[in-house]
Amino acid sequence: FELYTKRNFRCDCGNSKFKNLECKLFPDKSKVNSCNKYNDNFFGLYCVCKRPYPDPEDEVPDEMIQCVVCEDWFHGRHLGAIPPESGDFQEMVCQACMRRCSFLWAYAAQLAVTRISAEDDGLLPNATGMGDEDVSKPENGAPQDNGLKEDAPEHGRDSVNEVKAEQKNEPCSSSSSESDLQTVFKKENIKTEPQSSCRLQELQAKQFVKKDAATYWPLNWRSKLCTCQDCMKMYGELDVLFLTDECDTVLAYENKGKNDQATDRRDPLMDTLSSMNRVQQVELICEYNDLKTELKDYLKRFADEGTVVKREDIQQFFEEFQSKKRRRVDGLQYYCS
C-alpha cells in the first residue's frame, strides 16, 4: 500500500516482528521500532470513512489530503471544512488533530488560509452541521471556552495530563514517542523565546472561533508558532514538537528528494573535468574520444561476425590500447628553446 511520508518510520525486517527475515541495510536491529505507529494506512484504508484509495465504489471525484500531524489521508469532503478552491495552502491539520491540539485555533484566526474568526459570516459547517463552533473571547468579554484553557502553557502539569488522557481516545497519533521527542528537544537545545514573551497567550487574549473542522495553512506558518519554554513543553506533552521544525514539512522532504536526484544524475566525467586545469581537460577529452572510437570499432567486428564478446577479448583490447598509447608517448619529440 502507498504510505507516502511517515515521520521517523523504520522498517521492521530483522527485528522481533520478522525474526526470520534479515535486514539487508542494517543487520543489527532493535527488537522493536518504538517510533513506528501503525494505523489503517497499513491495511490500505484511509480517511475517517476507512475506505481504500482509489475506491472502486466511490463515484465522487475527490482528492485526498494528508494531515501534517497524524499523517493520515482524508477526502476533502470529510474534513468538516471544504479545502480552499484556489488550492493556495501548503499544509492541512485534520479535525481529530485540531481537537487534540486545540491551541492551534488561536493561530488559525490569524494564519489559516481560510481564516476562521468570530467576525466571519460564512462559517463552514462540520459533518453534523450542529454545535460545531465555540467562540472564545478575551477575559474582559464573555467567558472563554474551557477547552482552550487545557492547552494554555501557563497551566500546570495536571491540565496537560488531562489533554493526554483525551489524546489516547483520538483516532490520530503522531509518529514518534513522547520520550523520544523530549530527548531530541533536550539534545538539540532548541532555541526558545524569553519566558516573559508568549505569542500564544497574546493570541488567546483575542476573540476567535473553535470549530470541529480541519484547518488549512500557508507556507512558513510553522515559523509563527511560539517557542517560549512553556509552549515548547506543551508541544512535547502533546507529541508535536516537530511542528517547530521547518525541515519537517512535506515541501522540504520533496525538495530534498529533488536535490538528491539531481546529484545522482551528475556526470562523473564532467565532475572530473571541472577539477582539472585547461591542459589536463584537453588531454582527457582526447583520450576519452580515442578510447570511445577504438572500442566501438573493436566491438563492431564481433557484431558483424555474430560472435560473443568474452572477458579475454576485453582484456586484449585494453592491452593493445595501452600499448598504442605508450608508442604515441614515446614517439613524441620535445624541443627546448
286 and 165 assigned to the same domain:
no
Over residues 169-210, the pLDDT tens digits come to 333 333 344 444 444 444 444 455 555 689 999 999 998 888
311, amino acid identity: R
Domain-located, residue 148: yes
* Chosen domain end from 207, 239, 263: 263
What is the per-residue DSSP string for 235-304?
A: HHHTT-GGGG-GGGSHHHHHHHHHHHHHHHTS-HHHHHHHTS-HHHHHHHHHHHHHHHHHHHHHHHHHHH
The per-residue pLDDT for 332 is 52
Quote the domain boundaries for residue 294.
Answer: 267-329
How many structural domains is the chain composed of? Answer: 2
Domain-located, residue 85: no
Domain-located, residue 235: yes
**Do residues 99 and 170 make contact, with C-beta atoms less than 8 angstroms apart?**
yes
107 and 210 assigned to the same domain:
yes
164 and 298 assigned to the same domain:
no
Domain-located, residue 17: no
230 and 242 assigned to the same domain:
yes
The per-residue pLDDT for 136 is 63
Q: Taking 60 as the threshold, does the pLDDT of residue 306 lie above it?
A: yes
Domain-located, residue 49: no
Q: Taking 90 as the threshold, does the pLDDT of residue 215 lie above it?
A: yes
| 51-67 b/e (C-beta count within 10 Å ≥ 16 → b) | beeebeeeeeeeeebbb
The per-residue pLDDT for 138 is 56
Averaged pLDDT, 114-133: 43
The reported pTM is 0.58
pLDDT band at 274 (very low <50, low <70, confident <90, very high): confident
Domain-located, residue 36: no
Q: What is the distance between the alpha carbons of residues 152 and 131, in angstroms, rounded to a whole number?
A: 23
215 and 314 assigned to the same domain:
no
Which residue in this structure is represented by grid cell 573535468?
Answer: 273
The per-residue pLDDT for 257 is 76
Over residues 253-272, the pLDDT tens digits come to 778 877 776 666 667 767 77
